[in-house]
Chains A and B, each alone.
Chain A
Amino acid sequence: NAGVTQTPKFQVLKTGQSMTLQCAQDMNHNSMYWYRQDPGMGLRLIYYSASEGTTDKGEVPNGYNVSRLNKREFSLRLESAAPSQTSVYFCASTLGGLGPNTEAFFGQGTRLTVV
């Protein structure tokens, strides 16, 4: 049971560099999410994809772009990394909307440092 797989686990970037964080789920879930986790701030939603073919901004989208490549994969791209984007990034997926059987499944996270 792989669940939600994120790559890479760790990354160091120089300011201005670009990179793509990859996320894949094997649970046939419809909805996928990207969060960042910063000390003292909990999880904040960057972008989400309610279903294949759709993406929407979350709470903190500036400096990021996303692609829902297919039902399984949802990538997050930093076009020009900034030190403020140093964080731990989590991908998550859910079967669908909120309801009695809803729980989110999270990947192990990507620890990104921008120097």
Chain B
Amino acid sequence: AQSVAQPEDQVNVAEGNPLTVKCTYSVSGNPYLFWYVQYPNRGLQFLLKYITGDNLVKGSYGFEAEFNKSQTSFHLKKPSALVSDSALYFCAVSPLGRGGYQKVTFGTGTKLQVIP
């Protein structure tokens, strides 16, 4: 069965510092990988995805993620954190191929706190 691990419940970073939110996955075959962000009392919003191609994926709000096949990781990064980046971040994985979002497994989420 496929799975996603977000090993940190919370990540604290000072404003202006680089941030990393970690994600590792397990899936049969090649993966689709996603990052979503959830602001307080809101639904999830799409940030970025990896399907094939360049291992470095750029997304919304200056975020990027690096796909590492050998380490089965898809860490979310940003060069300079903003206080407004404080939110809950979800990593998700699906096997590559046909089908819908019913095949997507979400991680448990990592709370990012950016300290002014």
User: Taking beta carbons and an 8 Å cutoff, which residues of A are in contact with B?
Assistant: 4, 31, 33, 40-45, 48, 50, 56, 58, 90, 92, 94, 96-100, 102-109
Inter-chain contact B46/A33, CB cutoff 8 Å: no
User: Taking beta carbons and an 8 Å cutoff, which residues of B are in contact with A?
Assistant: 4, 32, 34, 36, 41-46, 49, 51, 90, 94, 97-104, 106-109
Inter-chain contact B43/A97, CB cutoff 8 Å: no
Inter-chain contact A90/B102, CB cutoff 8 Å: no
**Known pairs A92-B101, A98-B98, A104-B36. 19 more at Cβ < 8 A?**
A31-B100, A40-B108, A41-B108, A42-B4, A42-B108, A43-B90, A43-B106, A48-B101, A50-B100, A90-B44, A92-B43, A97-B98, A98-B99, A102-B32, A103-B49, A104-B101, A106-B45, A107-B43, A109-B43
CA distance A104 to B90 in the complex (A): 13
Contacts of B44 in A (CB 8 A): 43, 90, 92, 104, 106
CA distance A102 to B46 in the complex (A): 10
Which one of B34, B41, B101, B109 lies within 8 Å of A31 (CB-CB)?
B101
Inter-chain contact A96/B100, CB cutoff 8 Å: yes
- Minimum CB–CB distance for B6 against chain A, Å: 8
Contacts of B42 in A (CB 8 A): 108-109
CA distance A4 to B94 in the complex (A): 23
Taking A98-B94, A106-B44, A108-B41 as contacts, is the C-beta distance between A42 and B100 under 8 angstroms?
Answer: no
Contacts of A105 in B (CB 8 A): 46
Residue of A nearest to B90 (CB): A42
CA distance A97 to B101 in the complex (A): 7
CA distance A44 to B105 in the complex (A): 8
CA distance A99 to B4 in the complex (A): 20
- Minimum CB–CB distance for B93 against chain A, Å: 11
Inter-chain contact A104/B94, CB cutoff 8 Å: no
Inter-chain contact A4/B43, CB cutoff 8 Å: yes
Contacts of B43 in A (CB 8 A): 4, 90, 92, 106-109
Contacts of A48 in B (CB 8 A): 100-102
Contacts of A45 in B (CB 8 A): 102
